Structure 1
Amino acid sequence: MTTAPDAHRSAGRPRTAVLSRERILEAAFTLADVRGGDFTLAALARNLDVRPSALHHYFAGKDELIAGMRGQLTTRVGDHGFDARPWHEAIVPWARAYRQTFGAHPGIIAALATLPVDDEPESIIDYERIAAAMSRDGYPVHRIVPAIVAIESFVIGSALDSLAPEDNLRPVDNAELAPNLTRAEAAARENAAAQRHSAVTETFEFGLAALIAGLLAAGATG
């Protein structure tokens, strides 16, 4: 009796995980965390043990892949109640979540930040929430986009700053050249400790509050 060629094929899951959009994005984040935003689709395909052409069934090219990565991170940031809360209140937890989510993948931040929003619907939806809340609350329409960009720029910078040493501005070998900076830097770290925050987090919270207050004041003058 002749045995069929696949009669002894093992049952259960295939040896190689099935390729999917989610699996590609997960692998892209892992690769970008190591190599930054200049990774290639060929390198990503090698990590996934597939041919580069297999990736094109899901993403037309690297720009579309980067857009997918940003979309996934934007979804993780969440809504935070812009439809029900004043924009300047909802923007605080949004900014915190944005900083934490994007800061988890610093190698790809530059590529994400320079991506045109039209390439990726999740960000359009996210920005629309904020713009709608600001418009509803009477913020000058010509100031809405500059305000959003200012907040996002601060958050992205803060995400990168979180990677630096907490005493990054502390003069050590040349403290005598900057007595005021030395004193101010020590006071900032002492204040952060008193608030039970890291110096980086306390700086972020102070900067965010100051930025929002400034934007509210600027919006009130038109």
Structure 2
Amino acid sequence: MARPSTPLLSRNLIRDGALALIDAEGLESFSMRRLATSLGVTAPSLYSHYATREQVLDDVVNLVIADVDTSAFDAGWRQGLLTWARSYRAALSAHPGVAPLVASGAQHREHFLTMADAVHGGLVAAGWPPRRATEIAGAVKFLVIGAACTPFAAGFSDDATIYRDHYPHLNQAHRLRAEAARIDHDAFEVGITSLVRGLEPGPPRH
């Protein structure tokens, strides 16, 4: 049997193609027309699987969030938060173009809601009041999204002359870019471990 001249579309193929396109070109360049071209089909053919561009992006978020680990709350709320935060950052670091979509919230994204439910449930089961559990989860999300959307070290120039004459306290800033991945990782670790430590000695029981 002859192979079809165009690829057989499915929701998974479209979703995976959208993620690959965002990874390669950034979210700002994403469009259904551009996605169709990358898949070798016409734009109208995509709409037989997804009614809107937003539905495609929701599935992209679900795909990325599926890699986030919320299973460690059985080992205690501190370990649960650390494992969640680290895997959350790792998922977004692998797909930084998706971070602004994740920052927009859960909406109707099934995997995002499942993640939020697991985190909230893990904290409440450990004794945190529901309101405080919500605040803790929000604080972790702020830290993760900030790390994903605003990398620190790479934002400095490697030209030492920029800093030498006018910014004496930044006389080593030109070295940051070369070690950006390590510095950003270590900065995130400072943030998340300080946050979790600051919640000690444990949840209030009243």
TM range (shorter): 0.7 to 0.9
* Contact 1:21 1:58 survives alignment (8 Å): yes
Taking only the aligned residue pairs, the percentage that are identical comes to 24
Query: Which secondary structure does the structure 1 equivalent of 2:71 belong to?
Result: coil
Matched residue pairs, number? 202
Deviations 1:91-145 (A, max 9, x none): 2122121111111221221123114x13111111111111011101111221222
Does structure 2 conserve the Cα–Cα contact (< 8 Å) formed by 1:45 and 1:52? yes
1:218–1:62 distance in 2 versus 1, CA, 3 Å: farther
Scaled by the length of structure 2, the TM-score of the pair is 0.81
**Given the alignment, which residue of 52, 55, 65 partners 1:74?**
65
**Alpha-carbon offset, residue 219 of structure 1:** 5.2
CA distance in 2, matches of 1:85, 1:218: 14
State TM-score, norm by structure 1: 0.76
Partner of 2:109: 120
Max radius of gyration: which structure? 1
1:29 corresponding residue in structure 2: 19
- Counterpart selection for 2:75 from 66, 85, 106: 85
Question: Which deviates more from structure 2 when the two are superposed, residues 169-178 or residues 136-145?
Answer: 169-178
Distance 2:169 2:24 in 1: 38
1:156-167 pair list within 5 angstroms: 156-162=145-151, 164-165=153-154
Change in 2 beyond 3 A, CA 1:78/1:203: same
RMSD, aligned CA: 3.2
Amino acid at match of 2:87: A
Unaligned runs of 5+ in 1: 1-8
1:146/1:182 CA distance change after superposition, 3 Å: farther
2:22 maps to 1:46: no
Contact 1:86 1:137 (8 Å CA) reproduced: yes
Please list every run of at least 4 consecutive aligned residues from structure 1 whose deviation after the TM superposition is greater than 3 angstroms: 13-16, 160-164, 166-172, 175-183, 215-222
2:149 alignment partner AA: L
User: Measured at CA, do residues 169 and 88 of structure 1 come closer, stay the same or move farther in structure 2, by a change above 3 Å?
Assistant: farther
- Which stretches in structure 2 are left out of the alignment for 5+ residues? none
